[in-house]
Amino acid sequence: MKGTNLGEFEELVLLTIAALLNDAYSVAICDELEKTSGRAVKLGVVHSVLNRLEEKGLVKSKLGDATATRGGKRKRFYSVTSAGKASLLKAKEVRDQLWNRIPEFALKAI
């Protein structure tokens, strides 16, 4: 077990799910990620990440209603669990701590 540590892409996906609120299913997540990050995101990668997140207990999912657009197949909607929320917060905290230690000039010099 990798524990609750998040990878970079995992974190992005988890954030997107949180951001999409009630409309977080695989294709929408994919599209949203593509829009915000500006890089091409493959469905297969998103899928496996979703699968992994669910295994870690960071997200949970349920099947929605069938629609005609998907050939009669139902969507699986994801939502962030409290554990997911905690790990997101933790990740943010780590970053914030580091950010706070960087003096302003040092950044300018780069």
Partner 1 sequence: MKKSNIPVHPPKWAERFLSWYCKPELLEDLQGDLNEYFERNLKTKGARSARWIYIIDVIKFLRLYTLRKPEFINALIHWIMLGSYIKTSSRSILRNKLFSSINIAGLAISMSVGLLLIGLLSDLFSYDAFHQNSDRIYRVTSHYSYLDQVNSATNASSSIRLGKAIEESIPGVDKVAVLRRGLYGDVKVPDAKAVTMEGLWANEASLRVFTFPLLHGNSTTALKEPFSVLLTEKSAKKLFGDNDATGKTVLIKDKEHTVTGVLKDVPLFSHIRFDMLVSLSTREITQKDNKHELEWDNMWNAYTYLLVPENTDLALLQSNLNELALREDKTVENTHIKLGLQPLKSIALGEELNNEIGPVMNSSVVWMIGILCIVVLLSACFNYTNLSIARSMKRAREIGVRKVSGALRSHVAFQFITEAIIISLAALAIAFMLFLLLRPYFISVYPGMQDMVSLELTPQMMVCFVALAAFVGLAAGVFPALFFSRINAIQVLKSTPALKLFGNLSMRRMLIVMQYTISIAFIAATTISYRQYEHMLSFDLGFDTENILNISLQENKPDQLIKALNEMPEVKQISKSGLVTSVGYYWSTTVKYTNPADSADIFYNQVDENYLPLHRHKFVAGKNFTPKLNTEGEKQVIVNEKFLKRFNITNNDPLKAIDEYIFIEGERTRIVGVLKDFHYGRVESKIMEVMFTYRPEQAEMLNVKIQSNDIAATMNKIQMEWKKLDDVHPLKAHFYEESIERTYDEYKAKIKIVGVLAFLAIFIASIGLLGMVVFTTETRLKELSIRKVMGASDGSLVVLLGKNFILLLSIAAVIALPATYFYYEKYVLNQITFHAPINISDLVIGVMVVMALALIMIGIQAFKAARSNPVDVLKNE
The binding site for partner 1 (CB under 8 A) comprises 26-27, 43-44, 47-48, 51, 63, 69-71, 73-76
Q: 36-46 burial by CB neighbour count: b if 16+ within 10 A, else e?
A: eeeeebeeeeb
> What 3-state DSSP class applies to 77?
strand
Q: In angstroms, what is the minimal distance from the CB of 13 to partner 1?
A: 15
Q: For residue 42, what is the DSSP state?
A: -
Q: In angstroms, what is the minimal distance from the CB of 7 to partner 1?
A: 16
- The residue among 35 and 47 lying less far from partner 1, judged by its C-beta, is 47
- The residue among 42 and 95 lying less far from partner 1, judged by its C-beta, is 42
Q: What radius of gyration, in Å, describes the C-alpha atoms of the chain?
A: 16
- The residue among 71 and 103 lying less far from partner 1, judged by its C-beta, is 71
Q: In angstroms, what is the minimal distance from the CB of 29 to partner 1?
A: 10
Instruction: Report how far Cα 98 is from the mean position of its chain's Cα atoms.
Output: 22
Q: For residue 74, what is the DSSP state?
A: E
